[in-house]
Amino acid sequence: MMKKLSLLASALMLSAGALAGSADQITVHEPYVRLAPPNAPATGAFMVIRNGGNADVKIVKAANPASKVTELHTHLNEGGVMKMRPVPDIPIKAGGEAVLKPGSLHVMMIDLKAPMKEGDVVPITLTFEDGSSKQVDAKVVRPVAAPMAMPMDHSKH
């Protein structure tokens, strides 16, 4: 009984910690994970992260249970070749947004523990500079042929 109570207490403290701080002013939109080809060791997660607060915020860490390693990445053009590079943080200006998309910033999921299927949901935890964090559920989506095309149906307009 005592053990159960102390577990509950620490769970409450954890959730209180996760809710306080930078995470409060952040909203995450359209998170998704790109379905990796079979046997691919890594894939990326993408989303739009908006900062509705009055202070600049930085994401310093991402984590997820589906891959052994999670890194913050960007793409850089080096001599005409696009290369992925880890970045120490992803800044989001007050009132601004960071767009994580293919060919740009992304959350890199390296060393996948198990093959993913379309429709799987991967909880991704973003940790901010002040230690607060936010979890987003990213659905696994099959990539479309044209990377800029969004799967939108305009036929009903």
Binding site for Cu ion (CB under 5 A): 73, 84, 108
Q: Which is nearer to Cu ion, 42 or 48 (CB)?
A: 42
Q: How far is the CB of 107 from Cu ion (least distance, A)?
A: 8
Tell me the C-alpha distance between 68 and 110, whole Å.
6
Q: How far is the CB of 39 from Cu ion (least distance, A)?
A: 18
- Say if residues 132 and 24 touch (Cβ distance below 8 Å): yes
The residue at minimum Cβ distance from Cu ion is 73
Q: How far is the CB of 38 from Cu ion (least distance, A)?
A: 19
Q: How far is the CB of 119 from Cu ion (least distance, A)?
A: 23
CA dist list (Å): 12 to 22, 55, 64, 135: 19, 27, 21, 16
**Pairing relationship of beta strands 57-63 and 106-112 according to DSSP bridges:** unpaired
DSSP state, 54? S
Q: Which is nearer to Cu ion, 23 or 47 (CB)?
A: 47
For 17, list phi and psi in degrees, rounded to 5: -65, -40
Q: How far is the CB of 5 from Cu ion (least distance, A)?
A: 43
Q: Which is nearer to Cu ion, 95 or 102 (CB)?
A: 102
Q: Which is nearer to Cu ion, 73 or 134 (CB)?
A: 73
Tell me the C-alpha distance between 23 and 128, whole Å.
7
Q: Which is nearer to Cu ion, 18 or 84 (CB)?
A: 84
Q: Which residues of 65-91 are buried (b: 16+ CB within 10 A; e: fewer)?
A: ebbeebbbbbeeeeeeeeeeeeeeebe
